[in-house]
A and B are shown apart, each in its own frame.
Chain A
């Protein structure tokens, strides 16, 4: 848009303001941007909120899986010696945990960082997720989940 055109638009708005006593200014300059900001804000909230819910659900599912089926090497050895059938083995590789969280989700692989600590009794999952917010801004989501292991 050329400079003249912008200048003409501004002049027209000012002239219209004098004649319409401010109603068009309200509409064009204040109200519509306000509505746009509101809608954008609402959409951003929904985006963050849905991501948070999805992340929570995936973490919940993973922690449940780990707590039910996680065995340390010692536990596995003991179970093999005792002849107890193995219900499942969870690989401790964090890449695999990350894959499990991402599997079937709409989350972006590059934006997710998964931290898992498995102690003797507990599994603690911490997920960091960065999502595009507005104008290149990134929103940081942090979710935590803790669960006691069902060791046999």
Chain B
């Protein structure tokens, strides 16, 4: 029995076939195996680097985070990276070397600024909002609330208020006209002004009386008629030229380039102010000021060395300016003669400024009137409270962003050292034994590594930052 028939002359062909095919097959599988292991080594190294870098960043300075809301890792703690990297890869590949480089230092102003803005984007805006509300409350205390309410109140209230004003003006006009008839000169302008004011008030009163603000929408014709009448009254009051500027407005609107440019300038300006305000709030929130004999960190950020003298002098000058102007302009006791008035304002302003400065610096949460005139009661501006914090806000706003950021970093570096970074770059080289491709000459590049001494070497670099 024959299993397989082979004609004479083809004996041994199978042996030849397999002796050729088998090594090729073995080599193919071997190459596949080695390439898979090489690729795996590369991926494992990358994973290990990621784990090492993530762990290093996880060891961030928690005190700095809690105290100042900033994220940074210290350059002195590189061991974690190696520890985690070696632990993760110990069973898979042989690590030849590893290195960690710190990037994005907090000393770089754009990085520090970004972190500060991130930290203050909520609390800073809340603080600014609170300040604004407090100032509004002060305005309410001045008795302006009734006026504000009157303007925004019911139709009847507004109408009544306007009518009263008109009646008052009419009375004044009559009085002035009588004085004019009696021979008094120079009253024309005043009378004319009152007439103009009354015209505006009459228009306002009529608009309020006739206006229908949304209760009924079905009376289109009447509304149009009303608009035409209002327009007529406006032209009557202000002249026909009032709408003649329309063409110029159109021209301007067509000039899109100008508009875009203006918008850009406006946007940049507003963003700059916003950033500055948030930066100032950060400084005031996270650093102690001199008020109540505090540490004076805020002042040191602003002025550096000799900050005590510079701060006292600047606060005094601000107070002198505000109080001095108050005495000069608003104080009824001030002498009428200009030179005497100036001397009086300087002396009284100086004394009050000393009192204000001392109070704000020596006592915590001490507030002075925005314009301080003694005795009080002559100006409503006295009711606007101005604390040392407000004073610092004003002073900080006038400082450049660079100076403030430099000062903040200096204070942080004093406390936590200068090696504070927000990013890290890790690199490592590992090797994997080659089984089938070991015949490749040294230096052969394969995948993302190279072959040397029967090993596949691969190096990887990875960057991670906050």
Chain A interface (Cβ < 8 Å from any Cβ of B): 8, 12-13, 15-16, 19-24, 26-28, 31, 34-35, 38-39, 42, 45-46, 49, 53, 56, 60, 63-64, 67, 121-122, 124, 142-152
Contacts A42-B33, A63-B51, A142-B91; A23 near B13 (Cβ below 8 A): yes
A30 nearest CB across to chain B (Å): 8
Structural contact, B29 and A21, CB atoms closer than 8 A: no
B456 nearest CB across to chain A (Å): 15
Structural contact, A53 and B4, CB atoms closer than 8 A: no
Query: B110 interface residue, CB < 8 Å from A?
Result: no
Chain B residues within 8 Å of chain A by Cβ, number: 38
Contacts of A56 in B (CB 8 A): 44, 47
Query: B97 interface residue, CB < 8 Å from A?
Result: no
Chain B interface (Cβ < 8 Å from any Cβ of A): 1-4, 6, 11-15, 18, 22, 25-26, 29, 32-33, 36-37, 40, 43-44, 47, 51, 54-56, 58-59, 62, 65, 80, 83-84, 87-88, 90-91
Structural contact, B51 and A146, CB atoms closer than 8 A: yes
Q: Can you give 21 A-B contacts (C-beta < 8 A)? A: A16-B4, A22-B15, A23-B12, A23-B13, A27-B15, A28-B3, A38-B25, A42-B29, A49-B40, A67-B54, A67-B55, A67-B58, A142-B91, A145-B51, A145-B87, A145-B88, A146-B87, A147-B54, A148-B54, A148-B56, A148-B58
Residue in contact with A26 in the complex, picked from B15, B43, B91, CB distance below 8 Å: B15
Contacts of B14 in A (CB 8 A): 23-24, 26-27
Residue of B nearest to A146 (CB): B87
Residue of B nearest to A9 (CB): B3
Please report whether the interface of chain B is mostly helix, strand, loop or mixed according to DSSP: helix
Residue in contact with A144 in the complex, picked from B3, B25, B36, B87, CB distance below 8 Å: B87
Structural contact, B3 and A13, CB atoms closer than 8 A: yes
Structural contact, A144 and B90, CB atoms closer than 8 A: yes
Contacts A31-B22, A42-B29, A45-B33; A146 near B88 (Cβ below 8 A): yes
Contacts of B18 in A (CB 8 A): 26-27, 31
Structural contact, B29 and A38, CB atoms closer than 8 A: yes
Contacts of B62 in A (CB 8 A): 151-152
Contacts A56-B44, A67-B54; A20 near B11 (Cβ below 8 A): yes
